[in-house]
Amino acid sequence: MKKTVKIQGLDCPNCAKALEKELNKIDDVDNVEIDFLKSALSFESNDVDKAFCNIVKTTKTIEPDVKLIDENKNKDKTKSKSLNRKLILDVCLLFAGIVLGLCVLFVEMPVWLFWTLFVISALFLGYKTYFKAIRLLFKGTVNENLLITISVIGASAIGEYMEGLMVIALYSIGKILEGVAVDKSRKSIEKLTQMQPEFAVVIEDGVEKSVAPSEVSVNSIIIVRPGEKIPIDGKIIEGGASLDMQSLTGESVPVFVDVGKEVLSGSIVLDGVLKIQTTKEYADSTVKKIMDLIEHAQDKKSKTETVISKIARWYTLGVIVLAVTVWGIVWAVTKNFDEALYRGLIFLVVSCPCAFAISVPLSYFSGLGNASKHGILIKGSNYLDACAKINVVAFDKTGTLTTGNFIIQKVVSLDSSKDEDEILYLASLGEQYSLHPLAKAIVSANKKKLQKVDDLKEKAGEGVYFKFNEKNYFVGRRSKNSKNTIVEVFENEEKIGEIELDDDIKKSSYIACQELKSLGVKTVMLSGDNELSAVRVANEIGIDEVHHNLLPQEKFEWIENAKTDKKNFIGYVGDGINDAPSLMLSDVGISMGINGSGASKEVSDIILVDDDPSKVPSAIKISKYTRKIVWENIILSAVVKITFLLLGTFGVTGMLFAVFADVGVTVLAILNSMRALKYKPNKKAKNFEEKNKTR
């Protein structure tokens, strides 16, 4: 049985890894995983309660300040207060340690008092660091806590008292700032989970009943009032309201919906009351899918993140070996033991791996969180990484670039006694009872009141026969040689008109194509539709290359052939079951979230919550921006550390700069990582939409 609990007071990623390693050694406890950024600990056991008690005991011996909370049993409402108290205590001890340190360094006093106050000052400044280093060392783990502890002891041993206190003081200040920055990032991520509904109001036999969303079955009737979240995906059967969908799609402008419209769970009703017939179970609803993806987004790590994680395991031990080597070389050259030891200690401080170990995963997590805020669900940081490499995007047509709903392109009268409106009216008379998509489009375009007809007969694959005003009519298709979608109207076996229809293009498809071109990405349409329809849509949107009359296997073959050119990195965007093979074969598969089939969403790497193709360039922009931040952090950290390692080794800089190279760079890298959470990818897209309102 698997269990997940909250973990508080853990502000160091390396400490989290060390704790995770030790917890996995406990008997009858399996697969312990600590998600540092989400402050969560999960484990498996046949007896979870007993296992949880053992985990708590072991955690206390390694990390006394860490608190584990089983939220199912203990709704800890004092979380923020306890965190604030912890921060205040840390700041007070830090301040007291600095004051005592200044007294020790600048006030004359007996030797015994000097050493007493010096030790107290050093303990106030970093007792947590020392104790962690010792506890982990006894368990066979070395990390940056040990590096700092050795540096403080070493500096004090050679008489560099100011340097010793300065190392631990600046390190502790940095850890406090690091904790504040990480906590802020965590809170930003947690905002994404606030869309999760707590209840659903179901109407049964006219009686309202509040239940958990997971208990609501498909086709149930639920009611949602102003200020409440829609708990489950469904279709409105009564009422109208404005919805706040910002948490789902990133769109800040409220969207008005009424009867017949599909609505997504997680949307907030701003005004009006909605009665909704559920179309999915809660487990399959949009908000639950988002929660699951956020929960497991870090399971699939990017190559960059994985490499950093693997290196960090052996990094600290390697640093100690190199520091000893530096000490030995400098001692051999200078013949000065104290100077050699001092430079070795500087090497230890500069080499702490925090900047790499936390900023890289934090950058990716921020990028994934940002994408989720904009309605782009990316299933892992490896797919986020891959998205940045896309240089060819292949689109399915129907349901992806188009709405799947037909609109009338042209009405032609072949009878001089009848105008286009009358042809449309006669066609609507026959189609008014049909469920065919073409019939619905014709009837919705008609503006006149429809009358009853006689002898109405519908033949599948052919059309509708009926009588009206003593005349026989046929509405359907008899000509087989037309390349476009035509509905013909016959009166007494004489053709009197034609109605040309085509699939309605999504407005966001224009934005998607223009934005992709601005990114230097080639656009391709792979459609199963006829040539005339596919080419019209492609030309109107601005697609670079179009292929029509394709079977699913032919789409698959096109992607397969395109991938033989190693320069091509292909993203495929589709919505149907027939798109599943192409979604799997492409380098990045992107599916529609509302109308997409279960199969397409299952095999895809990215899901667009609101079926908006303009989110494709947004995903690429977020991915590129996140990768840029990751490499900024890696390069910044590496350059600063290498520079100060060399300067410290050759005696140019002292311990103060060494601490900046460690703690300062770590804080800068964390703050830089958080930019990925705030990045807005759709500024240009909105500007384009404003310019093309009249399209």
pLDDT tens track for 676-689: 888 888 755 455 44
Higher per-residue confidence, 626 vs 438:
626
Same domain? For 50 and 181 the reply is no
Same domain, 189 and 83: yes
Domain boundary among 504, 537, 569: 504
Report the C-alpha gap between 611 and 91 in whole angstroms: 49
One-letter amino acid at 67 equals K
Tens-place pLDDT, residues 611-635: 889 999 999 999 999 999 989 988 9
Instruction: Write down the mean pLDDT value for the chain.
Output: 82
Spatial separation of the C-alpha atoms in residues 367 and 365, rounded to whole Å: 5
Instruction: Please tell me the predicted confidence (pLDDT) of residue 77.
Output: 46
Compute CA 468 distance to the chain's CA centroid, rounded to the nearest angstrom.
58
Based on the domain organization, do 43 and 115 belong to the same domain? no
Q: Among candidates 620, 633, 632, which has minimal Cα distance to 681?
A: 620
Q: Which of 195-199, 323-327, 475-479, 582-586 has the lowest mean pLDDT?
A: 195-199
Q: What is the average per-residue pLDDT within 73-91?
A: 63
CATH number, domain containing residue 443: 3.40.1110.10
Is there a domain that residue 562 lies in? no
Both 263 and 297 in a single domain? no
- 443 and 458 in a single domain? The answer is yes
Q: Are residues 160 and 258 in the same domain?
A: no
Provide the pLDDT for residue 187: 64
pLDDT, tens digit, 9 for 90 and up, residues 327-384: 899 899 888 888 888 888 888 777 777 677 677 777 887 888 788 888 888 887 888 8
d(CA 448, CA 431): 14
DSSP string, 30-89: EEEEEETTTTEEEEE-SSHHHHHHHHHHHHHHH-TT-EEE-TTT---TTHHHHHHHHHHH
Residues 72 and 82 in one domain: no
Strand-pair category, 522-526 with 545-547: parallel
Residue 547 placed within a domain: no
Say which residue, 150 or 613, is predicted with more confidence. 613
> Residue 579: CA atoms inside 13 Å, Cβ hemisphere, count?
32
- Residue 396 falls in the annotated catalytic set: yes
What end-to-end distance do the CA atoms of the chain give, in Å? 56
For residue 606, is it within any domain? yes
Mean pLDDT of 36-54: 83
> In b/e form, how buried is each residue of 254-265, taking b as 16+ CB within 10 angstroms?
bbebeeeeebbb
Query: What is residue 515's predicted lDDT score, i.e. its pLDDT?
Result: 93
CA atoms of 454 and 469, how far apart (whole Å): 9
Six-digit token pair at 264?
């997504």
Q: Percent of the chain, pLDDT > 90?
A: 24
Last residue of a domain, one of 504, 531, 547: 504
pTM of the entire structure? 0.70
State phi, psi for 538 to the nearest 5 degrees. -60, -45
The answer to whether residue 515 sits within a structural domain is no
List, in order, residues 6 or more apart from 555 with CB less than 8 Å away. 394, 396, 526, 528, 578, 579, 581, 582
Domain boundary among 77, 93, 109: 77
Dihedral sign of CA atoms 111, 113, 118, 123 in order: positive
Question: Three-state DSSP class for 487?
Answer: strand
- Between 483 and 275, the higher pLDDT residue: 275
CATH code, domain with 53: 3.30.70.100
In a domain, 471, yes or no: yes
How many domains does one find in the chain?
A: 4
Q: Which of 268, 375, 322, 284 is nearest to 615 (CA)?
A: 375
541, part of any domain = no
Q: Which of 77, 66, 54, 91 is nearest to 11 (CA)?
A: 66
Most confident region among 282-296, 401-415, 485-499 by mean pLDDT: 485-499
Of the residues 11, 233, 244, 396, which is catalytic?
Answer: 396
Structure token pair of residue 681: 């990818």
Alpha carbon distance 510, 293 (integer Å): 29
Q: Clarify whether residues 167 and 268 are in a common domain.
A: no
Range of the domain at 36: 2-77
Q: What does the alpha-carbon distance between residue 491 and residue 475 come to, in Å, rounded to a whole number?
A: 9
Assigned domain for 131 exists: yes
Collect all residues with Cβ–Cβ distance below 8 Å to 198 and sequence separation of at least 6: none
Same domain membership, residue 310 and residue 189: yes
Confidence grade of residue 73 (pLDDT, cut at 50, 70, 90): low
Tell me: do 312 and 193 sit in the same domain.
Answer: yes
**Does residue 690 register a pLDDT over 50?**
no
Q: What pLDDT is attached to residue 517?
A: 93
Q: Is residue 463 part of a domain?
A: yes
**Structure tokens, 199:** 């209840």
Same domain, 189 and 301: yes
Structure tokens that stand for 34 in this block: 């600590």
Looking up residue 273, the CATH number of its domain turns out to be 2.70.150.10
How far is Cα 64 from Cα 118, in angstroms, rounded to an integer? Answer: 24
Co-location of 187 and 292 in the same domain? yes
Retrieve residue 465's tokens. Answer: 């026969």
More confident call, 284 vs 75: 284
CATH number at residue 683: 1.20.1110
